[in-house]
Copies of this chain bind each other. A is one copy, B any other.
Amino acid sequence: MTRILDVAERLVQHRGFNGFSYADVAAELNVTKASLHYHFAGKAELGEALITRYTRRFVAALAEIQRLDLDARAALEAYAELYAEVLRGRRMCLCGMLAAEYQTLPKQMQDAVIRFFDQNEAWLESVLEQGRSKGTLRFSGSAREAARLVVSALEGAMLTARPYGDVDRFQAAATVLLSSLTDTGAVATHS
């Protein structure tokens, strides 16, 4: 059960939901396709289970960052590091991948993808709002809009780094992003 999810998760993050099959999973586990159907009635159920588990783990990681009570800048760095770890495993974010394929997904998977992004956004909004009120962060617009930029930039940085097989591309984009939200601009402004 867990091994099925592990293999399927890796395949989806690597090749996309429309780019893998029950046969791929079965071959890796040395079982037959039929036995997979015992655990997950269809591909839609398997896909939904993948998103649910992935989201649960991700939210737990966010709670752990919160527990450390870091300042906003460090919390955002830790958040970006979650993405970097995925990318180091040569994987795309599961829900970033599924966002690309969104229009072809069964309804229950679509809804689960939305929930993933909603929870990311809510967590980031809180971090950003606190950072701004304490003066450690600076951005225009609402914290919610800034949160959407952070998710967008990190998901996009993973997306565009993968063709190059270059984690440094991700790191560079993440660093410039965090600097742009952190720098006060006081030094450079009047030069």
User: Residues of A at under 8 Å CB distance from B?
Assistant: 14-16, 18-19, 92, 96-97, 99-104, 110, 113-114, 117, 138-141, 145-146, 148-149, 151-157, 159-160, 162-164, 169, 172-173, 175-177, 179-181, 183-186, 188-190
Contact = CB atoms under 8 A, between A and B. Distances in A.
Nearest to A132: B188
A33 B102 CA distance: 26
Interface of A is mostly: helix
Given A155-B160, A159-B96, A15 B176 contact: no
A15 B100 CA distance: 8
Report the copy number of this chain in the oligomer: 2
Contacts of A151: 156, 160
Contact of A186 (B16, B175, B189): B189
Contacts of A103: 14-15, 19, 162
A19 B105 CA distance: 10
Contact of A159 (B152, B163, B176, B184): B152
Contacts of A101: 15-16, 19, 100
A161 B183 CA distance: 27
A157 B156 CA distance: 7
A96 B140 CA distance: 27
A97 B100 contact: yes
A141 B183 CA distance: 12
B152 A100 contact: no
B189 A100 contact: no
